[in-house]
Every structure is written in C-alpha cells, then in structure tokens.
Homo-oligomer: A and B are copies of this chain.
Amino acid sequence: MGRRSDHSREELRALIVAEGHRQMAEVGFAKFSAREVAKAIGYSIGTIYNVFGSYDQLILAINGETLDRWLADLEAHLEGREQDRLRAAIDAYFDFALGQRNAWTALYDFRLPENEIMPEDYRIKVTAITEVVVREIRSELPPKHVAQAPALARSLLATVHGHCYFALNGTFALLGEQNPLAAALDRVDDALARFRS
C-alpha cells in the first residue's frame, strides 16, 4: 500500500501514542510490545518504525503522554482549591501512581541508553510537573526563604517519589508500613518546619 487518506502523519503519530499508552497501562513495561500496538491500530510493525525510528523513541513518546496526563490530573486536583494545596498535590501524586500503576512505573522502568539524549519536549514535561510543586511550596514558605523553593521542591519530589515507589513495589508492605502516604506527608511537614522556625 501507499499513502492513506484517513491519517495524516501527525494523526498517525497520535494514534500510535494513544494505543501505545493504553497497552502500556494494561500490560506494563515488561510485557509491552510494539508489534501488538501496530496490530491493534491495523498497521504493520514497519510503520511504527517509520514514525518513531526506534523502540526507545516510541516508549519515550508513550511516557510523554503519561507525563501529560499526570500534569493534567495534578492541576485538576488543585483547581479552585484554597487550603491545603500542597497536601492535595501529594494526595494526587499518590492517587495517580496507584491508579495508573503500569503507566507510572514505566516512567522509571525505561532508561535512555548512555549515548542518546533526552528529547527537549520530554524535559519540558518533567519540568512542568516540577514547577507545580515549586509553586505550591513557595506559597507555604515564609517570604525570607522563598528563594529556597526550587531546591526544596526537587528534594521533596524525590522524597514523595521514594515513598510512592516503595508503596508500589512492595517494599513498604514487606517492611510493615501500613500508610505510605501519611509517612510521606510527615516528611514534607518536617522539611517545611525547618523554614518556619
């Protein structure tokens, strides 16, 4: 076959990413297959490679989709909220990770080969999520410490990530931790307390 009128290049790309994300969420990173995605949308494996160039770039696009949804979810949970916004953001973080287990985990299961560089638009997506946290932390910080917000946000993001990861991968269950979210919130409080004294 040749050119098809039913999909522009851009639409085809979007179609693959949408179906790819769906399958990633369903079967997880380890069992994900580019061939299955092609089959599901009625194209051949070759087309996937024409559009994305490699398996890694396909995964990157799918993970980018996950980041988009994550950011949208985060903003939806914050919209219109007046109090406890940071807490709401962390709640949403956990909810998203638990609810989108496979897609969220794929974000970390995938590692770009040493030589290749991360696409700019992927960096932007990660930064955008971080910016939300920076903003919320800035508003919880006393004026004199506002400049510390970016550094603190990075560190608390790592803190929450660690708790969330251990909740998902079974480490916390193994160690008898019943309430990972509460533990994470405690650590965030502890960090903020440093700047309130």
Contacts and interface: CB of A to CB of B under 8 A. Distances in A.
A174 B125 CA distance: 11
Given A109-B109, A190-B190, A161 B150 contact: no
A172 to B, nearest CB: 7
Contacts of A191: 186-187, 190
Given A158-B162, A158-B172, A160-B162, 11 more contacts: A118-B174, A151-B177, A155-B183, A156-B187, A157-B162, A158-B171, A158-B184, A159-B162, A162-B162, A186-B191, A187-B190
Contact of A175 (B154, B159, B171, B176): B154
Given A177-B151, A177-B154, A163 B165 contact: no
A169 B118 contact: no
Q: How many copies of the shown chain assemble into the complex?
A: 2
Contact of A183 (B108, B154, B170, B183): B154
A166 interface: yes
A51 interface: no
Nearest to A109: B109
A139 interface: no
A3 interface: no
Given A176-B150, A183-B158, A186-B155, A111 B171 contact: no
A58 to B, nearest CB: 15
A127 interface: yes
Which of A154, A176, A180 is most buried by chain B, counting CB atoms within 10 A of its CB?
A154
